Chains A and B, each alone.
Chain A
Amino acid sequence: MMNTPQQVKNPSSSLKSRFITRFLGALTKITAEDPISSSSPTRIFQRYRRIKVASNKSMAYSVRSRRIWSRAMLSRFRSRRSAFSGRRSSVKTTNCTTSPPPALIKVTINEKKTAKGGLDMQTDELRELVPGGEAMDVCNLLDETAHYIKCLTTQVQVMRKIVDFYHLSK
């Protein structure tokens, strides 16, 4: 089992431990609500989706509203929850990303082409990948992207260790 000793107390290690606590709690809940005997493909797929959402949610909640991207993500979760509350069965699965309609994007590209040497055009792709990226100015976008990447790598790191643990314990 790989050990990465983190003796230094820094903010990112408490973010990591908050994420671990939340995510493990979610995993326990997901496993408890699902009878282990019935592992049909549908069940497994539902579980996969719940785990993925739990992972992203756990990270967003661990960051709380300190970041633009986490705030955007949290409001996405809340609006999705209220959208689902009215209808139960066979709802079309909505994607995580809510990007602006294509027409809007095209107009923005034309406007920004004339300015700032095309930097704005280059960031368009990034804006779609970072939650809340559409409304950020370039400085915020780059700063938020750096933080978002750090959080994603923490997510991946923790999830890998959990997978390894379950592999070893079989």
Chain B
Amino acid sequence: MSGRRSRSKQSSVSSITDDQITDLVSKLQHLIPELRRRRFDKVSTSKVLQETCNYIRSLHREVEDLSDRLSQLLASTDSDSDQAAIIRSLLMQ
């Protein structure tokens, strides 16, 4: 651990502790569905980071897929501002 602070080139790494990183990594773990079930297991940081990347990619794909479906649904409906208001009220519940 002694060599940890030997990097003088990085400017913003002044007081990052291992505990801080552990906390942040476990916070991430709780957000990822894959890993949430294993809450009481020890999941390695590397695994959490890997699953985080996979999860973000799957969310990006979902946004694309839903945009695709919306583009086709909107093509065949007479959408007007009333519908927008209806949807908004439904979603706000």
Q: Give the B-binding residues of A (Cβ under 8 A).
A: 1, 3-6, 17, 20-21, 24-25, 27-28, 30-32, 34, 36, 39, 43-45, 47-49, 51-52, 55-56, 111, 115-116, 119, 122-123, 125-126, 129-130, 137-139, 142-143, 145-146, 148-150, 152-153, 155-156, 158-163, 165-167, 169-170
- Residue B79 lies at the interface, judged by CB distance under 8 Å to chain A: yes
B64 cross-chain contacts in A, Cβ below 8 A? 52
Select one of B32, B45, B71, B91 contacting A161, CB under 8 A.
B91
- Residue B35 lies at the interface, judged by CB distance under 8 Å to chain A: no
Q: Are B16 and A129 in contact (CB under 8 A)?
A: no
- Residue B59 lies at the interface, judged by CB distance under 8 Å to chain A: yes
Secondary structure class of chain B's binding surface, majority of residues: helix
Q: Give the A-binding residues of B (Cβ under 8 A).
A: 3-4, 6-7, 9-10, 12-13, 16, 20-21, 24-25, 27-28, 31-32, 45-46, 49-50, 52-53, 55-57, 59-60, 62-64, 66-81, 83-84, 86-88, 90-93
A139 to B14, CA, bound (A): 11
A34 to B9, CA, bound (A): 53
